[in-house]
Amino acid sequence: MRLTTVTRMSLPDGVVHRFATDVTPGQGEDLPPSFDQARHASLGPRAGSWMAVAFHLPFPAGRDQVARAWLAVVARHGTLRTVLEGHDDELRLRPVELHPLGWQTPSAEPGEDPRAVLRRVLDEACCPFARPAHALCLVEPRSADPAERPVVVIGLDHSHVDAWSLLVLMRDFCSCLDDLACGLEPGTCLPPAAAFADHTRELAARPPALPRVRRRWAEILSRGQGGMPVFPIGLGDLSTPREEVVEVRDVLEPDGVAALERAAARDGVRMVALAMAEMTAVFRRREGVGLRAVLPVHSRHDDHRGDRWHDSVGWFITNSVIECEDPDPRACAAAVRDAVELGSHALGPILEPHGGMPHTPGMFAISWLDHRRLPIDVDLSLRPQHVSAAIRTNGVMVWFVTNGSGLHVRCRYPDTAEARDSVGGWLDEVCAGLVRRALGGDSAGGDGAGGAVSPGAPPGPARDRPAATPRPATARA
């Protein structure tokens, strides 16, 4: 799945259509939002709080079939039939029923890029308090070439989805569309999907976190003077959020990923530990400090049935913190385990004495997702894209994603001269170091050339580039 943004995603030259819906009160009681839903909504209504999945239709289908497949997906997942209302401690999730209003064509200037149209639609439709906070769009090509199929775009406010959920949505939609084409009830072939609200209630009912977990969180916040970890190299003036810079790197092709996994196995660790070790090593060389970062961890685990939440849509992610002082991969593996434990508890009661989880300027976060380890099969022939919104930011976020096409990195940081130099240069070293590790070298040297490991494929759109290619600072547009 390609990592991209709404301003750089791959779309045909075509017309954007949106399937409009209305909501009315649904049956059932109001529900409590999760800790992270409440934290997300506390920032208020805003553009760019969404994420989306985009993919080509698996076979020719009319708009009516596309809409019916989507409504079947909505009927499967309870979080898509709730809306956020209220503010702060009075925030509630209200159950609603969706009613189709039909397809609409948003206004566009003559010759306007469909990506710009799509961005306006999703910024307006997919924000925390929208009713509903999701939208189905279809981009129909102007070309008469039958091989150029329409692109489905499903956008949702982050309060209802995480990256795993995007894969579930794509799979469920394609399965429902296939059922309709076969004359079956949509969703016939899909497993049941537990409701995210049940997960929120279950997490809140778990026993309190152990004292050592509370102490670790207190230590982390104290070390950051009450804030979350920040990127340790200068980012410039962050008194107000800046326009974002987004870099996307294709670091390793599949054979390179296999080689990196073998390198990890020699150290008795997983590939994620090598990535943490490389980042730690680069920070040590450049600043003499270790790695401290926010690390999102998922909570799709269940003590009684391990796969209960695997087919559900929701925000099953909470923020933990990873601290790696030693670049040895085994030490980094232990740090990953520690971070996972810190994020495996209901964080509301833990962080309440500290004023909740702070929003810290310069915050540094790392996300690691290996699609190959997920129990969801994504058809890469549909050219799927994980699409993020275009925003203003004052922090640094790095996504590492491994799938059938290799290892990819996306990094977002504020557009300042200092950040372009510090983050861009740091990212160059990290990605080149991972290539060297896959080639059998270490993080201290080597030019990354030769051997049996292929770096990422040549770049497509601007700023999508292989990691090991040196670039002047001006190239990071």
* Local confidence band at 143 (pLDDT 50, 70, 90 cut-offs): confident
**pLDDT at residue 303 is higher than 70:** no
**pLDDT at residue 242 is higher than 50:** yes
Tokens of 283: 């920070």
The one-letter amino acid code at 177 reads: L
203, 233, 252 - which closes a domain: 203
Q: Are residues 388 and 461 in the same domain?
A: yes
Cα atoms found within 13 Å of the Cα of residue 54, Cβ hemisphere only: 29
- The DSSP 8-state label assigned to residue 243 in this structure reads E
Model pLDDT for residues 227-238, shown as the tens digit of each residue: 999 999 999 999
203, 227, 259 - which closes a domain: 203
155, 173, 203 - which closes a domain: 203
**CATH number of domain containing 141:** 3.30.559.10
CB 101 within 8 A of CB 21: yes
Q: Are residues 365 and 447 in the same domain?
A: yes
Model pLDDT for residues 320-366, shown as the tens digit of each residue: 999 999 999 999 999 999 999 999 888 889 998 888 888 899 999 99
Model pLDDT for residues 379-428, shown as the tens digit of each residue: 989 999 999 999 999 999 999 999 989 999 999 999 999 999 999 999 99
In order of 188, 204, 212, 345, the CA distances from 350 in angstroms are 42, 12, 11, 9
Summarize the chain as % helix, strand, coil (round to 5): 35, 25, 40
* Local confidence band at 468 (pLDDT 50, 70, 90 cut-offs): very low
* Local confidence band at 448 (pLDDT 50, 70, 90 cut-offs): very low
Q: Are residues 226 and 167 in the same domain?
A: no
Tokens of 407: 């290892």
pLDDT of residue 310: 92
Q: What are phi and psi of 69, to 5 degrees?
A: -65, -40
Q: Which of the residue ranges 57-71, 170-184, 200-214 would you say has the lowest mean pLDDT?
A: 200-214
Q: Are residues 322 and 401 in the same domain?
A: yes
Q: Are residues 236 and 366 in the same domain?
A: yes
Model pLDDT for residues 194-223, shown as the tens digit of each residue: 999 999 998 888 888 899 999 999 999 999
Tokens of 268: 């008795």
Question: What value does the CA radius of gyration of the chain take, rounded to a whole number of Å?
Answer: 22
When the pLDDT of each residue in the chain is averaged and rounded to a whole number, the result is 90
Q: Are residues 59 and 149 in the same domain?
A: yes
Q: Are residues 361 and 221 in the same domain?
A: yes
**pLDDT at residue 70 is higher than 70:** yes
Q: Are residues 279 and 399 in the same domain?
A: yes
* Local confidence band at 298 (pLDDT 50, 70, 90 cut-offs): confident
CB 389 within 8 A of CB 123: yes
Residues 6+ apart with CB under 8 A from 219: none
As a whole number of angstroms, the distance between CA 394 and CA 398 comes to 14
Q: Length of the chain in residues, anyone?
A: 477
**CATH number of domain containing 269:** 3.30.559.30
**pLDDT at residue 469 is higher than 60:** no
Q: Are residues 22 and 123 in the same domain?
A: yes
pLDDT of residue 390: 96
Q: Are residues 367 and 387 in the same domain?
A: yes
The count of domains in the chain is: 2
User: 53 lies in which domain range?
Assistant: 2-203
**pLDDT at residue 183 is higher than 60:** yes
Q: Are residues 126 and 262 in the same domain?
A: no
Residues 6+ apart with CB under 8 A from 15: 105, 108, 114, 139, 140, 142
**pLDDT at residue 2 is higher than 70:** yes
Query: How many Å is the maximal CA-CA distance in the chain?
Result: 65
Per the DSSP assignment, residues forming a β-bridge with 259 are none
As a whole number of angstroms, the distance between CA 31 and CA 92 comes to 6
Tokens of 326: 């030693």
Q: Are residues 272 and 350 in the same domain?
A: yes
In order of 274, 276, 334, the CA distances from 331 in angstroms are 10, 10, 5
In order of 64, 294, 366, 398, 432, the CA distances from 435 in angstroms are 47, 24, 19, 17, 5
* Local confidence band at 305 (pLDDT 50, 70, 90 cut-offs): low
